[in-house]
């Protein structure tokens, strides 16, 4: 798998690189580290040439460390709008996955996702893994340690996005088990829902995944509790505005999920 790790080189943003450290390097064909210089980050205290020089030194050091860990690593520094530029770099290097953190240099405490992470997740067709991080006693750390790829948990709507998520999850390296879950609302047929999910994932690499249809009044709490029981290492969903799961990114379900769950989020 070819992966692009995008970082703003802040303490929180650099944890995107740590996401790979617990993984088997042999599962990755290429890892590209990317830093995008946006004028809003630097114009107040650095000139653009100064920012490029500082970024070159910092990112090269991170690339060398990742190479010493066994990963085939290179890096890119570009200027421009962060989300669009990250997606452009990912396309250029043939990345199948972009990794970012939900906090960085410009992260606002009240946001569920950092503004840049959210824009990257919605900007293109390449899957985006948003690693969850938190500051404790002036030190930033990932909320979940180890590889995020081992036990993906797919939060599924009953629509065409199921297959897209399944294809994206199936490309992840080092998968041990996958669980595909839909939470029914009153009036839905759980048997029909289960059959639909099984049919949608059948032509994908996760055709043998466990398919579960749950009933629950609180969708977010039901998903979080079931993901914890499954020992999920990430939660996968489609970033869009329509449908029960699609609203996770924007509505009340999202608020509960992102505030209560510690899992990294895969937007596919």
Predicted confidence (pLDDT) per residue in 106-126, tens digit:
544 334 445 677 778 777 789
In this structure, the answer to whether residues 8 and 110 fall within a common structural domain is yes
What is the span of the domain harbouring residue 246? 152-263
Count the domains in the chain: 2
Clarify whether residues 135 and 190 are in a common domain: no
Listed residue (14, 7, 57) closest to 37, CA to CA = 7
Query: For the chain (length 268 residues), average pLDDT per consecutive 10?
Result: 93 91 92 86 60 88 95 94 91 96 59 63 82 85 89 91 94 96 83 94 95 89 94 85 46 64 88
Q: Assess whether 54 and 161 both reside in one domain.
A: no
Of the three residues 107, 122, 142, the one that is the final residue of a domain is 142
pTM: 0.88
Contact of 168 with 121, CB cutoff 8 Å: no
> What's 211's domain CATH number?
3.40.50.620
Local structure of residue 147 (DSSP, 8 states) = -
From 142, 167, 201, give the residue that closes a domain.
142
Q: Are strands 265-267 and 127-131 parallel, antiparallel or unpaired?
A: antiparallel
Q: Are residues 53 and 135 in the same domain?
A: yes
Q: Quick one: pLDDT at residue 114?
A: 54
Residues 65, 116 within the same domain:
yes
What are the tens digits of pLDDT across the range 166-186? 999 999 999 999 999 999 877
Give the integer Cα–Cα distance in Å for 267 and 82: 18
């Amino acid at each position: 798998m070819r992966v692009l790790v995008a970082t703003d080189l802040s303490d929180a943003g650099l944890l995107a690189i740590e996401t790979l450290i617990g993984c088997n390097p042999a599962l990755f064909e290429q890892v590209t580290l990317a830093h995008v210089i946006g004028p809003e980050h630097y114009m107040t205290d650095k000139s653009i040439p100064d920012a490029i020089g500082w970024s070159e030194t910092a990112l090269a050091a991170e690339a060398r460390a990742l190479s010493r860990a066994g990963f085939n690593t290179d890096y890119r520094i570009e200027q421009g709008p962060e989300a669009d530029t990250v997606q452009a770099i990912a396309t250029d290097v043939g990345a199948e996955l972009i990794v970012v953190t939900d906090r960085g240099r410009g992260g606002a405490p009240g946001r569920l996702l950092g503004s840049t992470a959210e824009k990257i997740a919605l900007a293109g067709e390449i899957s985006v893994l948003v690693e969850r991080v938190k500051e404790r006693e002036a030190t930033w750390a990932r909320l979940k340690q180890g590889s995020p790829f081992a036990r993906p948990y797919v939060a599924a709507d009953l629509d065409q996005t199921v297959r897209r998520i399944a294809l994206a999850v199936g490309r992840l390296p080092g998968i041990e088990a996958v669980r595909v879950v839909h939470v029914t609302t009153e009036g839905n047929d759980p048997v029909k829902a289960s059959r639909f999910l099984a049919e949608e994932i059948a032509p994908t690499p996760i055709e043998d995944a466990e398919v579960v249809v749950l009933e629950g009044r609180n969708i977010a709490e039901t998903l979080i509790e079931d993901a914890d029981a499954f020992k999920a290492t990430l939660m996968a969903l489609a970033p869009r505005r329509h449908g029960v799961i699609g609203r996770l990114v924007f509505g009340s379900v999202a608020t509960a999920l992102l505030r209560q769950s510690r899992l990294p989020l895969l937007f596919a």
